[in-house]
Amino acid sequence: MLHLMDLIFLISGLIACYLLGSIPFGLVLAKLGGHGDVRKSGSGNIGATNVFRKSKLFGFLTLILDMGKGALAVFLIQKFTGDYLYAILGGTAAILGHIFPVWLKFKGGKGVATSIAVFCMTNHIVGLFVIITWAATFLIVRISSVAAIAAFTAAPLITYLLTHDPRLTVANSLICTLVVIRHRQNIKKLLTNLS
């Protein structure tokens, strides 16, 4: 059981992870690069895919930095607590920050890159298989959102089959549910196009 000071330390760490995750790198980089507000073009998203439409360089940098947020959050919480479960919570806090950033009235990205980084940091084999699923789907359909939906739909099963770790499976399932829900508009468009 956590002592009061440990609990305060953990809560402070999770808040820091949320704030780290909430840094809107895509929005900042696009503006610095003279590409304006990415929320007003393309998908209206602040993530790497939408920034990539403006600039391949800034899209790639956004991808790296958004993944870095998730990776750093897991690393720091793991380092300072030494607890695997708390590290997962730190990564989840960063994902929530990316999707619901306080600076942007809680309207952020879809969490794909940040979540994949968290998967890789909590179990690199799971992360690798999720990336492979995303890449394989993208090579077939050439649509980033479809690849993300496929990868995150498969990720809970991938996690369970590769780890048999109930804590990680539940955590990844919650993350995946949130990311897929964030793609609901994409899903609606896909269903409309199929009908």
pLDDT for the residue 1: 55
56-81 helix and 84-99 helix, angle to the nearest 10 degrees:
150
pLDDT at position 180: 95
Buried b (16+ CB within 10 A) or exposed e, 71-107: bbbbebbbeebeebebbbbbbbbbbbbbbbbeeeeee
pLDDT at 26: 93
Q: Give the residue among 142, 145, 132, 152 at the shortest CA–CA distance from 48.
A: 145
Digitized pLDDT (tens) for each residue of the chain, 195 residues in all:
557 777 788 899 999 999 999 999 999 999 988 888 888 887 778 888 889 888 899 999 999 999 999 999 999 999 988 888 899 999 999 999 999 999 999 999 999 999 999 999 999 999 999 999 999 999 999 999 999 999 999 999 999 999 999 999 999 999 999 999 999 988 888 888 776
CB of 96 closer than 8 Å to CB of 21: yes
Nearest to 130 by CA among 87, 160, 170: 160
Residue 25 contacts by C-beta under 8 Å, 6 or more apart in sequence? 61, 62, 65, 66, 69
What is the pLDDT at residue 136? 97
Report the pLDDT value the prediction gives residue 191, as an integer from 0 to 100: 80
Give the residue among 140, 153, 158, 161 at the shortest CA–CA distance from 181.
153
Q: What pLDDT does 43 receive?
A: 78
What's the pLDDT score for residue 189?
84
What span, in angstroms and rounded, lies between the C-alpha atoms of 37 and 35?
7
Compute how many other C-beta atoms are within 10 angstroms of the C-beta atom of residue 60.
Answer: 14
